[in-house]
Chain A
Amino acid sequence: TQLLEQSPQFLSIQEGENLTVYCNSSSVFSSLQWYRQEPGEGPVLLVTVVTGGEVKKLKRLTFQFGDARKDSSLHITAAQPGDTGLYLCAGARWGGSQGNLIFGKGTKLSVKP
Chain B
Amino acid sequence: DAGITQSPRHKVTETGTPVTLRCHQTENHRYMYWYRQDPGHGLRLIHYSYGVKDTDKGEVSDGYSVSRSKTEDFLLTLESATSSQTSVYFCAISGTGVGTEAFFGQGTRLTVV
- Identify the A interface with B (CB < 8 A): 30-31, 33, 35, 40-45, 48, 50, 88, 90, 92, 97-106
B63-113 interface with A by 8 A CB criterion? 90, 92, 94-96, 98-107
Compute how far the CA of A30 lies from the CA of B99 in the bound complex, rounded to whole angstroms: 7
Q: How far is the CA of A43 from the CA of B92 in the complex (A)?
A: 9
Q: Place the interface of chain B in its size category.
A: 20 to 34
Between A and B, how many residue pairs show CB distances below 8 Å? 68
Given contacts A40-B107, A42-B104, A42-B105, whether A99 and B56 have CB atoms under 8 Å apart is: no
Residues of B within 8 A of A48 (CB): 99, 101
Cβ contacts under 8 Å, B30 to chain A: 99
Q: Which one of B35, B40, B42 has the greatest number of beta carbons of chain A within 10 Å?
A: B42
B43 contacts A by Cβ under 8 Å: yes
Output the nearest chain B residue to A102 by Cβ-Cβ distance. B45
Which residues of chain A are near B44, meaning CB under 8 Å?
103
Partner of B40 from the list A45, A92, A104, A105 (CB cut-off 8 Å) is A105
CB-based nearest A residue for B48: A100
Cα–Cα, bound, A45→B100 (Å): 11
Q: Known contacts A42-B106, A98-B50, A99-B31; is A92 also within 8 Å of B98 by CB?
A: yes
- Give the docked Cα–Cα distance between A35 and B103 (Å): 10
* Proximity bits, B16-44, A CB within 8 Å = 1, else 0: 00000000000000110101000011111
